[in-house]
Structure 1
């Protein structure tokens, strides 16, 4: 796992990259949040390809628990990927509502994710 730092205005964004999954379950998600928070990051970018597919099956509860912790700690999160391929209506509604509220964003590109962070 690597962390690329993007400086935008007064804050730093941690872009997490990896060859494999960085989140396989809720414990790994919470560990990642804790480590990034400890290092002072309050904006995080993850890639869909680095998150277990179970995360996107809302019935598993993985997404809900991890994203709630990001909200509790006031750490903004962007997940980059192609979400149009998901057929789940509940997931599409969740993505829509998350993007509308702005704390958790689902974006198509790094540039879009950074732009959303800098507009909030």
Structure 2
């Protein structure tokens, strides 16, 4: 099970995944994130990009697509904090820009903006 923290702020809560020892690199890790939401009754998640394995950014692996489908199906709001653009290839950047137009998934390069969006 992946480690996480529940953050309470402004009468709202979200789950923070930022434990460097717990990398997201498989479908099982994605299911851990969803399980954490159900266990805590919280459907908002912040994920530190440093815990995402490189395979996740490679759209050919289909890992990110599977994750998107699961969070959409379970109506989970997710924000990713990705500080280093070098980890994202051009196709992933295009997808991130497109997803940022929606209401369920966002990408930010700092925790402050990510939290502000997540708590809306």
Q: Which residue of 2 aligns with 1:7?
A: 9
**Alpha-carbon shift at residue 63 of structure 1 (Å):** 0.5
Q: CA RMSD in A?
A: 1.7
Q: Does 1:75 align with 2:97?
A: no
Q: Which residue of 2 aligns with 1:92?
A: 93
C-alpha distance in structure 2 between counterparts of 1:41 and 1:68, whole Å: 18
TM-score by structure 1 length? 0.86
Q: Does 1:104 align with 2:105?
A: yes
8 Å contact kept, 1:78–1:106: yes
C-alpha distance in structure 1 between counterparts of 2:88 and 2:46, whole Å: 24
Q: Which runs of 4+ in 1 moved over 4 A?
A: none
Q: Which residue of 1 aligns with 2:62?
A: 61
**Alpha-carbon shift at residue 55 of structure 1 (Å):** 0.4
Change (3 A) 1:116 1:59: same
Q: Which residue of 2 aligns with 1:114?
A: 115
